[in-house]
Amino acid sequence: MDYRVRRITKLLSDDLSRDVDLNALANSVNLSVSRLRHLFKDETGLTPAQYLKRLRLERARELMEESFLRLKEVMPQVGINDESHFVRDFKKKHGLPPIKYRHRGRRVRDS
């Protein structure tokens, strides 16, 4: 993988709660925004925004499985502010809304 893309993936995963400035990311690896998008998509198959969304939803899934945090506590930890979008995106990615996903996971472990 291109070292610049590796650097961007690390920056994106280091703190999921913060907003991402694509201009700042591109500057950090001395690329234009359009070149960064193109290179990133070639290397990962996703745009930086799609990649970040995937990271956030995966971390949210982990938190829902491993902690007793409420949904409203999980969302800011993964950088998501809009509950309706979060629930919709989580369901699309993991097959169930977050709360049902959590209860399903606990039923499986309790059995």
pLDDT score at 20: 86
**Whether pLDDT at 111 is above 50:** no
Which amino acid appears at position 111 of this protein?
Answer: S
pLDDT score at 104: 75
What architecture (CATH level 2) is domain 3-110? Orthogonal Bundle (1.10)
User: What ranges do the domains of the chain cover?
Assistant: 3-110
pLDDT score at 19: 85
pLDDT score at 105: 56
- The answer to whether residues 28 and 68 touch, using CB atoms and an 8 Å cutoff, is no
The secondary structure of 30-59 as a DSSP string is T--HHHHHHHHHHHHSS-HHHHHHHHHHHH
pLDDT in tens, 6-56: 999 999 999 898 888 999 999 999 999 999 999 999 999 999 999 999 999
**Whether pLDDT at 110 is above 60:** no
Question: Which residues, 6 or more positions from 45, have their beta carbon under 8 angstroms from its beta carbon?
Answer: none
Using CB atoms within 10 A of its CB, is residue 26 exposed (0-12), middle (13-18) or buried (19+)? buried
pLDDT in tens, 68-106: 899 999 999 999 999 999 999 999 999 999 988 888 755
- The answer to whether residues 63 and 99 touch, using CB atoms and an 8 Å cutoff, is no
